Structure 1
Amino acid sequence: MEYLERWLAISNAAIWVSVLGLLLTVLLAYPLASALALPVQIAAHMGTLLFAVGVKIAYVARLAFLSKLGRPVH
């Protein structure tokens, strides 16, 4: 069970990292786009997609570990 707790903590941290990355890339891709070079804008748009997927995967992992630990899933 201890390893499930560790993976739960990792998935929680992954959600936060992905959300922060998503916010940063959205800021770079849209309001700050005029101040950035085109390759940076392209990377920001790609990052937006990747971080959004990261949020989803980390959330599903969190739900799975909560379920395995017998905790309420919400």
Structure 2
Amino acid sequence: METYEKWLFRANTGVLLSMLGLVITVALAYPLAARLPMVLQIFAHMGTLLFAVGIKIAYVARLAFLSRLGRPVH
């Protein structure tokens, strides 16, 4: 059970960091795009996609570990 607690913490951290990364890359890709070179705009758009996938994977992992620990999953 202690192992699941550790992985749950990592999944929660993954959701938080992915959300932060998504907000930053969306800000770079859209409102600040005029101030960035094209290469950075491309990386910002790619980052938007990658961080969105990161949120989904970390959230599914979070639900799995909550289920394994017998906690409510919602």
Q: TM-score, normalised by structure 1?
A: 1.00
Equivalent residue runs for 1:3-42 within 5 Å? 3-42=3-42
Structure 1: segments with no counterpart, 5+ residues: none
Give the aligned CA root-mean-square deviation in angstroms: 0.2
Structure 1 runs (4+) greater than 6 angstroms displaced:
none
Q: How many residues align?
A: 74
Identity of aligned residues (%): 68
Give the drift of 1:52: 0.1
Q: Secondary structure at the match of 2:31?
A: coil
Q: Which amino acid is the alignment partner of residue 7 of structure 1?
A: W
